[in-house]
Amino acid sequence: MAEKEFVCIACPNSCKLTVTETDGELTVTGAGCKRGICHGKNEYTNPKRMLTTTVAITHGIHPRISVVSDGEIPREKLAECLEYLYGCQVQAPVCRGDVLVSDICGTGVYIRASRSMKKINDI
């Protein structure tokens, strides 16, 4: 029998979850709703997170633009994805929702601009 504890991040209630594995079966206690049960099982077997960060942009009104993943990324790939994005440079203008990176680090997830940014000469 193995047991791990997590805090559910699916809503602000932050329920304290305990996931117990017995003979390959997972049980979740402490969840205030079904979402928490699902979250606990996912955290135990394959934890994933949305990725938000910034990317360097040339000719923009700011030096960096905020970006967000359009899906969850396996937690063990997050550092690799962040390192990749740290080395990226995009060109202004950019519209909110534009795909700036496709299939980041082989995850199948797109990285999109989470805001628009004009070219500095277009202001």
Which tokens hold the place of 51? Answer: 């990725």
Residue 33 within binding range of ligand SF4, rule CB under 6 A: yes
SS3 29: strand
Rounded Cα distance between 48 and 61, Å, is 33
CB of 36 to ligand SF4, least distance (A): 2
CB of 42 to ligand SF4, least distance (A): 12
Which of 23, 25, 26, 35 binds ligand SF4 (CB under 6 A)? It is 35
73-82 in b/e form (b: 16+ CB < 10 A) is beeebbeebe
Going across the sheet that includes 25-29, the strands are 2-7, 16-22, 25-29
Residues linked to residue 94 through DSSP beta bridges, in sequence order:
117
* Contact stretch for ligand SF4 (CB under 6 A) within 13-21, 64-72, 78-86, 99-107: 13-21
CB of 37 to ligand SF4, least distance (A): 7
Which of 10, 61, 88, 100 binds ligand SF4 (CB under 6 A)? It is 10
Rounded Cα distance between 72 and 5, Å, is 21
Comparing every residue's Cβ against ligand SF4, the nearest one is: 36
Instruction: Count residues near ligand SF4 (CB under 6 A).
Output: 12
Residue 11 within binding range of ligand SF4, rule CB under 6 A: yes
